[in-house]
Amino acid sequence: MSASNNYLNKPTTINCNGQLIDMTQPRVMGILNVTPDSFYDGGKYNNGTVILSKVQQMLSEGADIIDIGAYSSRPGAQHITMEEEWERLAEVLELVRKDKPDALLSVDTFRAEIAKRAVREFEVDIINDISAGEMDENMFATIAELNVPYIIMHMKGTPQNMQQNPVYKNDMVFEIIDFLADKKRQLSLMGVHDVIIDPGFGFGKTLEHNYTLMNRLNEMKLLELPMLVGISRKSMIYKLLGTTAEEALTGTTALNMMALERGANILRVHDVKEAKECIRIFSKVLVV
């Protein structure tokens, strides 16, 4: 196995506030959900001490990026207002930025105004948008103005309806590639080039869709962009195994290894230590 079979053909970096992050080496994005209803960790991080302890744990275990979300995107999640999302988010960003001023922070939001305030008020480094601009027509222009790396994810519908019998007209993987390619083109015309793709496991996809997507994940290389994969403790694991999200760590690690083999550059996870170990083993196999 050679590195050329797994990573982008050319060395690729993303520019985070002047810091160049090499995407040819797999990275780990640690998840911090400050929501009461996220599918795995909803309600866990509801006070400053617990939040800072979790951030410190993830960083000490090797997280390259901390992704903070204040809007639950689990299937059927309750829709909240922008004001409520910002109220949750601002308090946490202030806390984390003060305690960890050098940490690379990503904000998980589909709202342009949230993205703008997060970057301008708290120097957030990356915006992670589950809708790739589909849920806020101002998002692309905002990203171009902010000049920060932008993660675009494929999703059919919204978190409220995405799992209600998702259907693809033709080839699902090609449809995802076409969607992301069109977004890449639009962003490029606006001067946005630090773009990361996310194929959107679990977002408008059945169990079979998810495993087909994993099997053919290497086809995403056609887009010639760094790729984030987020399958941590998702229902595609525990529904297949007949277990729960709490019991899905082994399955997560197995799928993370498959994702790395198929070209993933960033693993978005709840369990940083295990993801880093997975990457270390994967990287060792490439060089022996």
Instruction: Establish whether 27 is a catalytic residue.
Output: no
Q: Angle between the 207-215 and 249-261 helix axes, to the nearest 10 degrees?
A: 40
Tokens of 22: 């090499």
Selecting among 233, 234, 262, 276, the annotated active-site residue is 234
Terminal Cα distance for the chain, rounded? 9
Residue 106: which of 84, 129, 83 has the closest Cα?
129
Instruction: Establish whether 268 is a catalytic residue.
Output: yes
**Is 195:152 a contact under the CB 8 Å cutoff?**
yes
**Overall residue count recorded for the chain in this entry:** 288
Please give the Cα distance from 127 to 23 (Å, whole number): 16
**Is 114:89 a contact under the CB 8 Å cutoff?**
yes
Selecting among 268, 276, 280, 284, the annotated active-site residue is 268
Tokens 């990287």 correspond to 283
Tokens of 49: 């001490």
**Is 132:180 a contact under the CB 8 Å cutoff?**
yes
The catalytic residue positions are 234, 268
